[in-house]
Structure 1
Amino acid sequence: MFQRQIETRAIFRRLFMTWRVLGIILWPFNKYLRIIYDILMNIFITFAFPVHLTLGVIFSSNQEQFFTNLIIGIASVSCTFKHLLWRSRLAEMQQINEILAQLDDRVRVREDYEYYKRSIERLCNFMINFFTRCYFSVGVTALFIALITGELLYPAFMPLQWRTSFWNYVAAILFQFVGVMLQIVQNIANDVYGPVVLCMISGHVHLLANRVSRVGHDTEENTQSNYEELSKCIEDHKLLMSTSKTVERIASLSYLVQFVAVGINLCIGLVYLLFFADNYFAYVYYTIHITAIMIELFPCCYFGSMLECEFHDLSYAIFSSNWPTQPRPFRRNVVSFTEMTLREVTMYAGGMIRINLDSFFATCKMGYSFFTVIQTMK
């Protein structure tokens, strides 16, 4: 008998460390100190840092500063909105962890365990590492460029006369670097949870399909055991459907903000690239920026499509079970189960935009159409 047990919740431990850094999840010390820490973090990161970038747009002295501040400011403000939206759903996120732990108990076959290690755990850890390394490398690169050029990380509004004193410059650089690093932590918490949880749920739907397809093959003569196993599969399907709806409710507004921010930044980047960029550095910077914001959107859309496909394939898994040799009550449940699995499972951002690859490619097409229109005007 295979004894290894999976633990999907373990994947979230590193991710939930970001919430601890932000002061939201309790550390093992005095709760009043945690509240003070949380308030200070919100004043400094959630509000002060985006405000100083937004004011930089208003007080920009040239076109390059205006567009740079505008793009960074939109990204920062959208990060703040997403952070507040995710924060308000933290209790539901903890409930999803408990549901995933319940589904973990169903994995008792080596084939399923190997699928979990290969296609769930490895992918989730890759996404966490990928987002963490990419986001922090952006902050470190911005610091190096600022120190080499003697400028700020971002040409935002700064009340200090940072050009007049070495210590004023150090204070301004330190404020921006700490601010961008902590907002990167916010962004990791915002952007990683959605793809990771969608990957986990789609993986558990696949594991459910594996269990369904095995019903009746190993214990053909034990009809009662087969009936009970089918009933458990039906209950797990209902649980996965309700969990998908809960994830949609949690992530809906956050991903609507992300789609809107990506669309706006894409258009602004293309406008600057075609009309105002006058050096190779600007061309390279904005080309990489446009590519980066599209890559940021890709994982959630990809796993949204994966979730749709895995739910769709469940009906085929049911017919792979040994249902013809089973008694009438079993076959009746098979018919009911099949009808349930024929329902399309699609997640929406804000109830309007489907979270799948169709929306991602539609965004790419929108950017290309906008590019051709502006190029014609140019």
Structure 2
Amino acid sequence: MSKHYYEFFNGLLVEVSGSGGRTDEQFQKMYGHFRVTSPTREPDMVIEETTKDVDPDVVLGDPNDYYGWTGEQFVIRNGSSFMAVTPGWNHIQVTPGFEPFYAIYPMEFEIRKRMVEQGKALVHASGVQLNGQTTLFPAWRGAGKTNTLLSLLREGANFLSDDRLWVGADGEASGYPLGVNLQPYNIESFSEVELTHDSLKDRLRHEVHEYVNDRFGGANQLPATALLYLNGKFLSDDGRDFTDVGSLYSTAEYVEHSSVDNIVFLQAAPNNDHITSEPISTEEAMKGITSICNFEWDGRLREYFHAYDSLVSDGTMVDSLDEVIQREREVFEELFEDVGTHRARIPRERDWTEHGLDTEVVEMIESLEPRRTVEASD
């Protein structure tokens, strides 16, 4: 079993040990920027893969989908996979097939607790710097966040992040250089972007999977339906191909810190043919950011922590989460009062170049004027 170490913001040192399971692999691809080879101290948190089963004394839920307590570990079971957590949440065990993000959210919660002490909050957003102005794009999944980023990188923008970043009440954003999770529709929209694979076998599997989907995806006959089922079951991967953003466009540079000029909330608009945008109030922006944070991590953490507190004596994880969320909300509200806040509705088209959406999103960003500039000129 190999061990890898990652040192995050504010010095959180995490050890991830495994033998090629999903969590170990995703950490290596997603958090490569933070990897350290020779830490000089013990880790603050350990996430390790395990094949040993757990036997809770008390469970909340169904036999194969529950929260449980063994007397020493809090257990989250999803079918044959589970996560087992030692009180304190600094030692987490996961089975090789367990969903990696379900272990990442508690880890990032520890980072969030540290960062909010510095007046910074985590947001699910991409961020770019184009023509000297920095724009952030908070969004739910599937709203066009990555295609927006790629469109602007192609135009010569630099980047803070594709998926997550930190914002401060002082108006500054800090980059979070994670691997970009490219999907087939991202590749189709930007022909110059190539999906990389760890091996020839992975490449062939991906190409056959995509061919079958393209060839039979619209068919409703029984043979085609059966073929699509087998294709998805045996040839598809977990849908995550993390690529270093800087490798996609050689001119794009990573921006570690930048003052924020505009924040554009992206929403998918399946019935639209063109991108539309409009300014929104701080109140609307707060509703938007709250829904995004709840969907991306806080909702799941809240369910975990409620179950934990009810099973583990002296559990206070819900109170800890509430405190962090409230302090992050204060950060967001101060930020939104000082920058331009907008909403953009994005057509849900698979090929952005064919439909001209790559050009439209660039034109939209170039037309934005920061709120503080408008106020200063009044």
TM-score, structure 2 normalization:
0.27
TM-score, structure 1 normalization:
0.27
Q: Which structure would you say has the larger RCO, counting Cα contacts within 8 Å and 6 or more residues apart?
A: 1
Higher helix share: 1
Larger radius of gyration: 1
